[in-house]
A and B are shown apart, each in its own frame.
Chain A
Amino acid sequence: MGSGPILQLSGVSKSFRVGPRTIGRPRAQLRALDHIDLRVEAGKTLGIVGESGCGKSTLARIIVGLTRPDAGTVAYEGADLSRARRRPLAAALGLQMVFQDPYSALNPRMRIGDAILEPLLVHQIVPRAEAPGERDRLLDVVGLSPSLASRYPHELSGGQRQRVNIARALSVRPRLIVADEAASSLDVSVQGQILNLFSDLRDQLGLTLIFVSHDLNVVDHLCDRVAVMYLGRIIEEGRPSILREGALHHYTHGLASAIPQPIPGRRRAQPAISGELPSPTNPPSGCHFRTRCPARQPLCAEASPPLNPAAPDHRVACHFPRVSTPEAVGRNHAADDLTVSPSS
């Protein structure tokens, strides 16, 4: 088990200018991330959930250094990376990303063996003569036959490609991997294989994982901690039990109930959350979720609730949080501990 945060984000904000360029009027400002504070412990798995457009991918890209934040710090092993023009190589390689779309994440003109070989050679991860052996070993680690090395990406299935993407990210021996919807586009049975691969890698290599997904089932299955985002803000953070009875934020609760489960007889008369996502360029004042919230009060429009500790290990940004019964929380915590961490 790790100790201390491997990654700490403080006050990370990012805005984009969107819409047509017009003379006289500035372009609309879109706050993709609004003061994100987040800690990731070494060796643990953090899940980031939320609907599309809430800023998950932007956060992922900032963590691995593909985008620079407008404000705030991104500290990896204590060193702030956010201001560096170019990240120190060790940090750049220590944080890797696995992308959502297995079809777009591999260069179509490159044999997959070469795609894995390239980082090994460029960064001299192993002596040149040993590189092909290392490539085969990496293919083996992700469950692919080394004989596939000479294939082009289009000659592989979606699941196989995602394995290649994982092998390529592993080639530079990262300590933290950010997986952005890495299993979302795959069929259930293949998705299961990829999720198992991630949990094996975490256990065998001691990797820290940040698992970005809109699928709460997947996140609950894989993660030690969960952060829920809504329109650029983290609105709740805690153990995976917040995706079940433990939710204090009305959005988390609604999101969790909206997930279809293969259990018959759950049909509700009303949708779990009504209304559309507000425009991200013009979010509601105060609490962003108030327009869709069943428990809104006048205060919600005036002040935006800070992300405050509500219990040990549990932060929530809501003026009027749900009441969750202590015994339900306790039961769920027990379930968290029972399964995911095999307490080595």
Chain B
Amino acid sequence: MGKAVQNDTLAPPILQVDGLNIEYQGGPHAAVAARDVSFTIRRGEIFGLVGETGSGKSTILRSIIGLLHQKAKVVSGAIRVAGHEVTGLDQAGLSDLRREHVAMIFQDPLRALNPVMTIGAQLAEVMHAAGLRDRDAVQRLIVGALERVGVADAALRMRAYPHELSGGLRQRVAIAAAMIRSPELILADEPTTALDVTIQDQILTLLYDLCRDTGMSVLLVTHDLGVVAEICDRVGVLYAGRLVETGDVARVLTAPSHPYTAALLASMPRIGERQSRLRVIPGRPPELSVPGCPFAPRCAYALAECGTIRPVLEPAGADQASACWRRDQLRTCLAEEVSVG
């Protein structure tokens, strides 16, 4: 896993996010949802964006496709999809972007599917919009698209309405719809969170296979480091709107370079590693901007300067970066914390 894109120079980037800051305005005080977020996704890569509720995952993902809530504003930063700048695009530009390069999958496919149209009609609509007119060809393509995402009896299922399908099938249909235009990048916001584990397993396998077959990239937003381990090549760990660690999944999960990543991993119960008590992270994420490292108040390794000077994401070994002053000193410490559990 991840071997195809191990070398930084191999694949060109499909998504570049640079110094992104997003605020929710209109409240008593502006809520900052993304602070100085920078990361790159290369072609063919599955990138996991992981963090707890409210850490800003959905906000960042939505900003890429111009679907931010009207109160949310990109204060600064650049987002480039396949080399095209996204911030500041008008509606026409955004539709072009969605048509040409990017598709999106949601946690609840019911929200993305029209309840009063059959599955087939909705897929046909997407094809019409993509310029296909021949009815028979469209039918054949739809059956093909549904079969590709593992929908059995595709010819029959296209006549079903979304509510008649199980959650897993709906998510498959949503993926089929997203795939129709052969996007270069799929944005998936917790696509399996509402599903059962066996179905989640199937959908993740499907996404992984589609990616490997077509060479598209996926930005997968999730709160579950397990999901990241299953299919992602690289991962970015968000904490209070900031990326605190990025890097190759195998490295980040086995040798984390930020205490938050390590603490998160250590607090997950795992089959076969029974302890009488789970490790927990005391306290809560800060709600307002703090001068130093946002994790410092909860960090077991924090020094005095962690509370005053903010670390930025800097390389910590091969294909790994960490926003921690002590990343080099803590290496062995953190690896131990994760392995002992």
Contact = CB atoms under 8 A, between A and B. Distances in A.
- Give the size range of B's interface with the partner: 35 or more
Interface stretch (A104-112, A114-122, A128-136, A192-200): A192-200
B150 to A, nearest CB: 9
B277 A196 contact: yes
Contact of B196 (A52, A221, A244, A274): A52
A42 B202 CA distance: 39
Contacts of B117: none
B278 A270 contact: no
B263 A258 contact: no
A267 B230 contact: yes
Interface in A196-252: 196, 199, 214, 216-218, 220-222, 240, 243-244
Contacts of B231: 267
A27 B146 CA distance: 32
Q: Which among B168, B263, B280 has the highest number of chain A CB atoms within 10 Å?
A: B280
A187 B129 CA distance: 40
A276 interface: yes
A195 B166 contact: no
B1 A258 contact: no
A325 interface: no
Contacts of B227: 260
A339 B275 contact: yes
A264 B166 contact: no
Contacts of B272: 220, 244, 332, 335
Contacts, number: 138
A277 B278 CA distance: 33
B166 to A, nearest CB: 6
Contacts of B253: 262-264
Q: Which among A157, A188, A256 has the highest number of chain B CB atoms within 10 Å?
A: A188
A254 to B, nearest CB: 7
A81 to B, nearest CB: 31
B205 to A, nearest CB: 5
A293 interface: no
Interface string B245-280: 000011001100000000111011111101111111
Interface in A57-112: none
B271 A243 contact: yes
B278 A258 contact: no
A254 B268 CA distance: 21
Given A188-B223, A196-B280, A339-B276, A218 B269 contact: yes
A258 B201 contact: yes
A341 to B, nearest CB: 9
Contacts of B284: 157
B228 interface: yes
Contact of B198 (A199, A267, A273): A273
23 contacts: A188-B52, A189-B264, A192-B269, A192-B278, A195-B269, A195-B278, A199-B276, A221-B269, A221-B274, A221-B275, A221-B278, A222-B269, A258-B201, A259-B271, A260-B224, A260-B229, A262-B226, A262-B270, A271-B205, A276-B168, A276-B169, A332-B272, A335-B274
Interface of A: 51-52, 157, 187-189, 191-193, 195-196, 199, 214, 216-218, 220-222, 240, 243-244, 254-256, 258-268, 270-274, 276-277, 332, 335-336, 338-340, 342
